[in-house]
Amino acid sequence: MRISIFLGCFFLMGTMLSAQNGNPCNCCTDAYKAFDFWVGEWQVVNSNNGKPAGINTISKEEGGCVIRENWTSASPGYTGTSLNFYNATTKQWEQLWIDNTGAYLKLKGNRKDNQMILSSDPFTKDGQTLVHRITWTANKDGSVRQLWEVLEGDKVTATAFDGLYTKK
């Protein structure tokens, strides 16, 4: 009887371990890897004048299902973080940015060629309907350009940030 119980437990444990290892990576498809070019330890400068903008650590977490950003500005006292993930239901990437001033930004979009392009939903400010659009471009030299534009319709009305990321 003890041998039967032992063998039954052994079989049950083997089945459970096998089931856990059946799909070792739920987020390892190409769609989930589309933003991997941004992962790393980065020094960031302003593209227009080359002055330091800050440092950014981008890491994959939760078994590769989440890309987390941790930003520290070159201007003392400003930090922020974002969580980025591929939403398999909507088949698009989403980002939630939150900083230490309480500001937040929600974006969604997809990769096209060597660019990840995420945009906010339209919002109204001073009677204008605007959209935030951030484009990350994977450059051939391994650097990444992040361009944050504010649009009214198809027209760019402002550039909020234009930074060049180089690996630390």
User: What pLDDT digit, counting tens, does each position of 57-76 carry?
Assistant: 999 999 999 999 999 999 99
What confidence score (pLDDT) does residue 22 get? 62
pLDDT-derived band at 12, boundaries 50, 70, 90: very low
62: tokens are 């939760």
User: What pLDDT digit, counting tens, does each position of 101-113 carry?
Assistant: 999 999 999 999 9
What confidence score (pLDDT) does residue 16 get? 44
pTM reported for the whole predicted model:
0.85
- Whole-angstrom Cα distance, residue 165 to residue 57? 11
**Nearest 10 degrees: Cα torsion 142, 144, 145, 148:** 170
pLDDT-derived band at 19, boundaries 50, 70, 90: very low
- Whole-angstrom Cα distance, residue 80 to residue 67? 14
What confidence score (pLDDT) does residue 39 get? 98
What confidence score (pLDDT) does residue 3 get? 57
What confidence score (pLDDT) does residue 25 get? 84
Q: Is 118 helix (H, G, I), strand (E, B) or coil?
A: strand
Can you tell me the mean pLDDT for 7-28?
55
What confidence score (pLDDT) does residue 24 get? 72
